[in-house]
Chain A
Amino acid sequence: MEKKTKLHEKIYLVLILFFFYLPIFYVVFFSFNSSKSLTRFTGFSLQWYEKMFSNRTIMEAIGYTVACAVIATIVSTIVGTITAIGLSKSNRIVREMVSQVNNLPMLNPDIVTAIGFMLFFTSLRIQTGFTTMVLAHIAFCIPYVILSIMPKLRSLDPNIAEAALDLGCTPIQALWKVIIPQIKEGIIAGALVAFTMSFDDFVISLFTTGPGVNNISIYVYSSVKRINPTINALSALIVYVITIVLIIINVVPMIKERRGKRNEKIS
């Protein structure tokens, strides 16, 4: 498909990118505004950041969001990995069935999944709160983890586990020493997806959480009735964190690779 890119095509791409980044730059810019206005920049100030850090509800929301995302990521990654390995050795019918059911929460609108959880928890007389939110997050993260590990498993040599057994590994050793190291990338990718899915989730959290337990999204949603520039600061904070994390994720492998190449040259 490689051809010369014409000028108007370049302009089009720039416009699309501008559209995508405009609100992000806007939010960061106005988080430094000295007044309450959302359209007029009256001067530089850090007051909204101060207000944010001294606001207990916001800090709690950040805490709940991170805690929920960490727990959901760990549990869903472990369960997802074990399940994916099991599925890769199961017969086609089981595999097909599980993937069909797994598709449900991914193909259903979030709101349907969310009210399903809500009805489920309340019917069982479980008080909604942090625990139910975490359970729901784990439930919707596992399918994504499985989905990101399965291709790695499928691309393994079909005899790789047998080779390990053949060389004297017990089944558990075969998993640890041979299978897990080779699907490591898929597991990491799955964990990353799980973390962001959980961290960014709004709809399912809204319906499965209980009184007094908010995550960042719910806090933003519930406080939009009033003009509240602390939200700009909060949004900007998220932008900073995500940017730093993404830079690390994208740059570290590059450095590693370069170092690897240098080592190869030396040896």
Chain B
Amino acid sequence: MKKLIQVKNVTKTFGSQVVLKDISLDIYENEFVTLLGPSGCGKTTLLRIIAGFLDADEGHVIMDGEDIANTPAYKRDVNTVFQHYALFPHLDVYENIAFGLKIKKQPKDIIDQKVRRMVSLVGLEDFLHRDVTKLSGGQQQRVAIARALVNEPKVLLLDESLSALDKNLRKEMQLELKQIQKEVGITFVFVTHDQEEALTMSDKIVIMKDGEIEQIGTPLEVYNEPINEYCARFIGDSNIIEGNMIRDGLVRFDDVEYECVDKGFKDNEPVDVVIRPEDIDIVPRNQGKMNGEVKSVLFKGVHYEVIVETSSGTSKTVTMHVTKEHDITNESAHEKISASNFYMDLEDVPNLTDSEVITRANAQAWNEDNEDVSLSKVTYNVKNEVGTYDCTFATDKGTEISIKIFVVKPNVIEDQSNEEGIQAFDFYRTADEIKESMALDTDLILWADAAAWNLEDDSRVEIWDVKYDFDDENIVEGDYPITFSTQGRELKVETTDKIEEGERIGLNWNPEDIHVMRKMVV
């Protein structure tokens, strides 16, 4: 095959922002090439440079052996299908498609022939004189393709051309585009952020990131052998695990060594390991390479997507003191008031406000009609040291309640292997408060003031799981343990067998299902 377009060391900056960094890429005749990447990766800029709408700051674009830097867009043998089609709304379908030929002053009968041939190629015979603004998205798409192809370009550029269509139509158009490309036999350069589109249509996929090309390969290559974490995440669903390459054919992750087929790494080199969800089999417990507990099962049509936790996160257990009803009734004012004792972190004392005290104590007052009464007076004598302090809430009518505030040093649990810390406090609640909670997990996190963070950079880590074994509908007085934990290692598995949440299972795979990648340079 012949090289049709050679992009050589192209660099492009907008202001201070480098959009393309030294890009080189060969595009062959009759090839369907997809530029794939998230928005802002430079793929559209590259396309516009090929089309001639932008000039490269450095580097060359060579087409058919000729540098086309000084060829304006309207003289290039290239046509574009734009993202929102850019159809001319003042012209009808026929006139839109004939536009380029008319500009080139082709004879009327030739124009008519070519337009009609193109229209039948894209299946718009019945819409020739329709107003383009009155067409559906898919029909507009076809007009845009026909309008570009009728000029018989050597290359057709497509800029996110399917993104405006709905899902079903997009699938249909993917097939159709591929079909058209085969039929007209010219090069298509297609820009998209949709990996599925890239996989189904392309002969060659170019994965881009931040103005650079990460990987070039056939769909099969980029799917099965992603070059790094970025490409693996971009193409398909992946489980990506940090590990170490012990030696050729042996990789270690999650504290266990596994056989693999990858070679050519330094001994003990830190690597990323990919295992595709469809490559993992579910087997009885202790019969696989890993054990885990099923966290969730999602039905996806043909298969189930199962999330399996293979090692737990960092966790902290606290005691919830469920107390009896302690409303205080003020008969003369016809009001009731309630509040609970609470524990708090010494570090939070300096920032304590009235409204925060009210929230933490869950203090509230109400009248006979069950309307809320505001707590006008909040008094407390909390000092900036560990101890037990008194706190009183009162309404305007003098309805009062007193509670204790326990200021304590936080008891932090640090898990060095996860590099996470977690803390939470014991707390008091009445049975009714628990029964009335609309989102119990969220409330429990709030009441226990539970928080987790990354030990390295202090960033917040989400509390992933709240475990308890009481029945919140029928809870009675007493002490209950509650465990808060962060997310552990979770693997995504695709299976066609029905499986239940909470089941304890084993996971198995073959050595060749493990794909080891070099760490990305940040």
Does a CB–CB distance below 8 Å link A and B in the complex?
yes
Give chain A's interface residues, CB within 8 Å of chain B.
157-160, 162-170, 173, 177-178, 181-182
Please state if B74 and A163 are interface contacts (CB–CB under 8 Å). no
Check B80 for interface membership: any CB of A closer than 8 A. Answer: yes
Q: Contacts of A158 on B, CB cut-off 8 Å?
A: 84, 86
**6 cross-chain pairs, A with B, having the tightest CB-CB distances, nearest first:** A167-B100, A163-B86, A159-B86, A159-B82, A165-B73, A168-B103
Bound: A36/B407 CA distance, A: 96
Bound: A33/B105 CA distance, A: 66
Q: Contacts of B72 on A, CB cut-off 8 Å?
A: 165
Bound: A163/B84 CA distance, A: 11
Please state if A159 and B74 are interface contacts (CB–CB under 8 Å). no
Please state if B53 and A157 are interface contacts (CB–CB under 8 Å). no
Q: Contacts of A168 on B, CB cut-off 8 Å?
A: 74-75, 100, 103-104, 151
Bound: A181/B86 CA distance, A: 14
Please state if B53 and A162 are interface contacts (CB–CB under 8 Å). yes
Q: Contacts of B53 on A, CB cut-off 8 Å?
A: 162, 165-166
Closest to A163 in B: B86
User: B74, B78, B83, B148: which contacts A170 (Cβ < 8 A)?
Assistant: B74
Given known contacts A166-B79, A167-B79, A168-B104, A157 and B74 CB-to-CB distance under 8 angstroms: no
Q: Contacts of A167 on B, CB cut-off 8 Å?
A: 74, 79, 99-100, 103, 147-148, 151
Check B90 for interface membership: any CB of A closer than 8 A. Answer: yes
Please state if A166 and B90 are interface contacts (CB–CB under 8 Å). no
Please state if A163 and B80 are interface contacts (CB–CB under 8 Å). yes
Check B40 for interface membership: any CB of A closer than 8 A. Answer: no
Check B51 for interface membership: any CB of A closer than 8 A. Answer: yes
Chain A contact residues, majority secondary structure: helix
Q: Contacts of B100 on A, CB cut-off 8 Å?
A: 167-168
* Further contacts, 16 of them, CB under 8 A, given A160-B86, A173-B103: A157-B85, A159-B159, A162-B86, A163-B80, A163-B82, A164-B88, A165-B74, A167-B103, A167-B148, A167-B151, A168-B100, A168-B103, A168-B104, A178-B88, A181-B90, A182-B88
User: B73, B88, B99, B104: which contacts A162 (Cβ < 8 A)?
Assistant: B73
Q: Contacts of A182 on B, CB cut-off 8 Å?
A: 88-90
Bound: A160/B83 CA distance, A: 11
Number of A-B contacts (CB under 8 A): 66
Interface size on B, residues (CB 8 A): 27
Can you list 30 A-B contacts (CB < 8 A)?
A157-B85, A158-B84, A158-B86, A159-B84, A160-B88, A162-B82, A162-B86, A163-B87, A164-B99, A165-B72, A166-B51, A166-B53, A166-B73, A166-B74, A166-B80, A166-B148, A167-B79, A167-B100, A167-B103, A167-B147, A167-B148, A167-B151, A169-B74, A169-B103, A170-B74, A173-B103, A177-B99, A181-B88, A182-B89, A182-B90
**A179 CB to closest chain B CB, in angstroms?**
10
Bound: A170/B74 CA distance, A: 6
Please state if B82 and A157 are interface contacts (CB–CB under 8 Å). yes
Please state if A157 and B79 are interface contacts (CB–CB under 8 Å). no
Closest to B150 in A: A167
Bound: A245/B508 CA distance, A: 84
Choose among A157, A159, A167, A177 the residue with the greatest number of B CB atoms under 10 Å from its CB.
A167
Please state if B90 and A157 are interface contacts (CB–CB under 8 Å). no
Choose among A157, A160, A168, A170 the residue with the greatest number of B CB atoms under 10 Å from its CB.
A168
Bound: A6/B470 CA distance, A: 61
Closest to B100 in A: A167
Q: Contacts of B89 on A, CB cut-off 8 Å?
A: 182
Q: 1/0 per position for B224-239, CB-CB distance to A under 8 A?
A: 0000000000000000
Please state if A157 and B73 are interface contacts (CB–CB under 8 Å). no
**A183 CB to closest chain B CB, in angstroms?**
10
Closest to A161 in B: B86
Bound: A235/B103 CA distance, A: 52
Q: Which of B42-74 contact A (CB under 8 A)?
A: 51-53, 72-74
Q: Which of B142-163 contact A (CB under 8 A)?
A: 147-148, 151, 159
Bound: A162/B104 CA distance, A: 16
**A72 CB to closest chain B CB, in angstroms?**
28
Bound: A169/B75 CA distance, A: 9
**B118 CB to closest chain A CB, in angstroms?**
13
Choose among B83, B88, B104 the residue with the greatest number of A CB atoms under 10 Å from its CB.
B88
Closest to A264 in B: B131
